[in-house]
Every structure is written in structure tokens, then in C-alpha cells.
Chains A and B, each alone.
Chain A
Amino acid sequence: MGRSRASQEFRPHFRPEGHFDRTAAHKPILVLENVLKVFRADAPVLRGVDLTIERGEFVFVTGPSGAGKSTLLKLIYRAESVDDGRILFCGRDIARLTEDSIPHLRRNIGVVFQDFRLVPYWTVYENVAVALEVMGLQPRVVRSRVALALERVGLDGRGDERVSVLSGGEQQRVTIARAIVTEPAIVLADEPTGNLDPVLALDILGLFEEINEAGTTVIFATHDRTLLEVSPRRLVVIDDGRCIEARKGLEGLGDALEHRALN
């Protein structure tokens, strides 16, 4: 399909002047090297995280509450910056981006949150279109791409509705449409099903899997065990400030989630 091709071919312009890096297409999309993140000096949230994510992968990130899942994602879209180590996005170290370049990085990353982060007094259309408008695209292009994105999340024809009247599941579909409408190289989801009932959660997971099948890399942070069980994807557990590969059976996972249940 046309759109899958578009999302696989990577066109990063982190920097306003936007150099096209030909070698980027052959590198892992994301490499974290020895990442350190400290909020309180006595207890670093992440200490020495090493993680490599290949283009087109679907990766679950899990771990007990407060383990640093959200923090890890924030580091990737530069809402926070690392205290040590490197994060290479398509081979480029995003820790060294200037303030001016951060918006350009974010145009290559779609982000979905548990609490949606939609503008309640905007329509569905406006909430999705904003991601293209900030890039200065022609209104005609914006219209057709928004329509396509809404169709992909099952909201075709509902662009004129105000998001504040939508159900939680529908609102989450709007944020997913906003995340994918730019055809980003990677989509980060921070507990996107946290506010939804179990059936809806499975729906939303299915949507992310479709997005992934179309070629987009997905990082999906969750502590919903059901989701991890139904979907045999790569699984990374953040435990004690480090990343551990925990697939090939759910054994390693048990302890980590037990830990959370106690909290």
C-alpha cells in the first residue's frame, strides 16, 4: 500500500536545514547506549539502559509503576534529556539537538498517551490536522491526509464532531490518528489503553498492530498483562533502572508484574 511505503522510507529533518542522511535507512531506528536519567540524586530512574530497536519492530515496554517507562519515552521525544549516555534516532544523537531542532525531531515521532491530550474544544478534524498544519502543509494535502488517517482508525466521516463529546475509546482513536497522520518513522504509546475497558484495550492494541504491519515502528508501554499475553511481541522490562529482554515465555515477566501488584 502507498502509505506503508511512505512510512518506511525515512525522511528525517531534525534540523531546520534538514540534511538527508542516506545511511540512516540502514541503521537501527533507535539505539539507547548506557542511558542515565536522574531526578533525585539518591535514586536514578534509569541507570545504564542499553536498548536497540530495529526499523519496523513492535516492542512492548513494561515494568512496575514508577520504573521509568514514561521517562524512557520522554527521553526519546526529547521532553526530557539524558544525564549521560546516548540516544541515537536513525543514527543521530538526539541528546545533542538544539532547542530549535526539537520540533523537527518530534515531527518524525508520533506519541499517544493514556490521557489522550486532545484539545477538547476542537473538532476531531482539527485535532488531527494540527500535526500537519505545524509543518506548513497545503490545506488540500492536510484534508486528504487527515481523511486517510481517520479512516485508518475507524473514524471516517466523523471529523466535524467535537472531541469532548466522544467516548474514551473514540478519543484514543483520534490521538492515534494524530500520531500517524504525519506518517512518522516511529510511534510511541504510553499506556494508551490505561483508561479503557479490557475489550476496548484489545481493539486499540489491534490498531497499533495494524499500524506496525504497515511499516511503522511501535514502542508500546503498558503494564496490562492481558495485552502482553495476547500479543507475542518483543518485550522489554524496565527493572531497577535497566532494560531486560523478557520474551521467550513470560517467566521473567511474572516477578516484575508481581512487584507492581503490591504497590
Chain B
Amino acid sequence: MFERALKGLRLQFGTQMLSVATVALSLFCMGAALLALENTGAMVRRWGAPVKVTVFLAEGVSLEQVDTLRRALTGLPEVEDARYVSSAEARQSLSAGGDATVASAPVELFPATIELRLVPSAVTADRVASVAARVRRIPAVSEVETYRGFTERLRGLLAGGRAAAGIVALGVLLCVLAVVSNTVRMSLAARLREIEVLRLVGATRAYIRTPFLVEGAMLGGVGAVVAVAVLAMVYATLRSHFDASLGTLLGVHPVFLPWTVSMLLIVGGAGLGALGSAAALRRGLQS
């Protein structure tokens, strides 16, 4: 079977290579979309739920009260660490960029805060909200900032990315089906005499069809392998350029597609190819 399919591939090498390239290009787009999604996902996991909460203190809170509060906050199971930032420190850190107006502003404009760092494993949107609600009820606290806006924007980005990837995937699916089905149709047309002879000497339906199904699966599968290989190369090149600066800035390190997803792309490519081929056979091998 395999041998007969290869014989067919040799017969129209140029066309077959062209269709492998097209399949590879489409699946490359899909892989790239998945890769982008994968990395946005990692970023959202890192930043999506805030690990940082800022507790603004009411005016005129004494240092003793601050210390009691800080200790109480540290005692919460969600809190990993609580650090007091006085008004003066806040002004200093904000003016660190060399901004003279900030540095000369009155210290009362910069409220003292306690910066909470949460235990990352305990962080979910609900628990952060409940911690914030509890802390907000404490009289010495004026406001609690959980940075939800940022979180929600990130999540929105991810959802949008998913939708876009879905559309890309659908386009790629149709494209691969069409390309393989057309290639197999040409292959069929070029081998009509052969098929006629096979029928005449008593070949079964499966005997006639299988090489074409194998051919379609090979077109899809080889295209997918090429796509994943090129994607890995592009990824490696990009990472070597950006890793150091971008990685530390974002606090996340780029990842490639998990091997299961890569395998799925290849198997899916082969499956789609076989499906496209079956469609061509349905139309091309009637009677």
C-alpha cells in the first residue's frame, strides 16, 4: 500500500511538494497562533490574578497601630509577606526617576501603605476579593487596591486571543482540506487508466482507495512536520534575541508548544489530509 502511494507521489512530485508547502504554511500559522496563545496564557497565569495588594492607611495612624495591623495581615493564610511603606518612602520611590516636582511635593500627598505579597498558589480572583473586603473593614485602612482592572484587561486579551486562534484554526482546517483534496483529485485524474485497469482485474474498493488515502495523509502529515519544525526554528531564533530583556521585564519566560500539542498538530495534519483525500475520492471515483 505504502509503496503504491509512494509511486503516486513520484509521479507528480512538483504538485505534491507545492501542496506540502501550502499545508505547512497554513499549519505554521495555526502553530504560531497556538504558540502566541500559550505564552499569553503563561503571562496571564503570572499576572492574571494579582499577587500584589496595596493597603492604603488612613491619615494619622500611629506607628504602633501600623505594626499591629502589619502583623495581623501577615497572619492571613493568603498573605506571604507584608511591608510597610511610609509616606516619605513612597515619595522617594516615585521620585527615583529624577522627577523634581515629585521630590518637592508635600509628603502628605503620598499616603502610607502596606504592600501585601500574596501566596501565588492561593491566588484566585474570589479569594483576593474576600481578603480585600476583610481588610477594608479595618478602621485604620482607607482603601485597598487589588489591581483588578489590569487583571481584567489581561483576561480579555487572552479571551480575544482564543477567539482569534479559533478563527485561524477554522481557516487552516478548511485550507488544508481544500489543498489536499485538490491535489489528490489531480493525482486521481492522472491515474484514471491505472484505476480502470485495477477495477478490470478485480481490485477491491479498498485496494484502489487506500493508496490515495495514504497519499493525502502523507501530504498533511509531512506538511505538519515541516510546520512544527519551522515554528521551532523561528521560536528558537526569537527567544535568543529577546529572552533576557523581555523575560525579566514580564516576569515570564517564553515557552514552546507542549510536545502533546505538537504531536496533535502532526497527527491532526495527517488526519485532515486523509479526510481531504476521502472527499476527493468520493467525487472522483464514482461508479
Contact = CB atoms under 8 A, between A and B. Distances in A.
Contact of A103 (B11, B193, B196, B202): B202
B198 A134 contact: yes
Contacts of B193: 117, 119-120
B197 interface: yes
Nearest to B196: A117
A113 B199 CA distance: 14
A111 B197 CA distance: 10
Contacts of B196: 117
B13 to A, nearest CB: 14
Contact of B200 (A106, A120, A121): A106
Report the contact-size class of chain A (Cβ under 8 Å from the partner): 20 to 34
Interface string B232-273: 000000000000000000000000000000000000000000
B194 A134 contact: no
A111 B200 contact: yes
A104 interface: yes
Interface residues of B, number: 14
Nearest to A121: B11
A86 interface: no
Contact of B201 (A100, A121, A178): A178
Interface in B170-223: 193-194, 196-205, 207
B194 A106 contact: no
A38 interface: no
Nearest to A113: B200
A55 interface: no
A104 B202 contact: yes
A118 B200 contact: no
A106 B202 contact: yes
Contacts of A131: 201-202
Contact of B202 (A105, A118, A127): A105
Interface in B116-168: none
Interface in A84-120: 99-100, 102-107, 111, 117-120
A250 interface: no
Nearest to B201: A131
A135 interface: yes
A137 interface: no
B202 A107 contact: yes
Contacts of B202: 102-107, 131, 134-135
Nearest to A118: B197
A97 to B, nearest CB: 12
Nearest to B194: A119
Most buried by B among A104, A111, A131, A178: A131
A164 B94 CA distance: 87
A130 interface: yes
Contacts of B204: 100, 103, 134
Nearest to B200: A111
Interface in A122-139: 122, 127, 130-131, 134-135
Contacts of A117: 193, 196-197, 200
Contact of B198 (A77, A102, A130, A182): A130
A127 B197 CA distance: 9
A178 B201 CA distance: 8
A102 B205 CA distance: 10
Contacts of A127: 197
Contacts of B199: 103, 106
Contact of B197 (A99, A119, A135): A119
Most buried by A among B197, B202, B203, B204: B202
A78 to B, nearest CB: 10
A182 B198 CA distance: 14
B166 to A, nearest CB: 41
B287 to A, nearest CB: 10
8 contacts: A100-B205, A103-B204, A106-B202, A118-B197, A134-B198, A134-B203, A178-B201, A182-B201
Given A103-B199, A107-B201, A120-B193, 15 more contacts: A99-B205, A100-B204, A100-B205, A103-B202, A103-B203, A106-B200, A106-B201, A117-B193, A119-B197, A122-B194, A130-B198, A131-B202, A134-B201, A134-B207, A178-B201
The 9 lowest CB-CB distance pairs between A and B, nearest first, are A106-B202, A107-B202, A134-B203, A131-B201, A103-B202, A103-B204, A119-B194, A119-B193, A134-B201
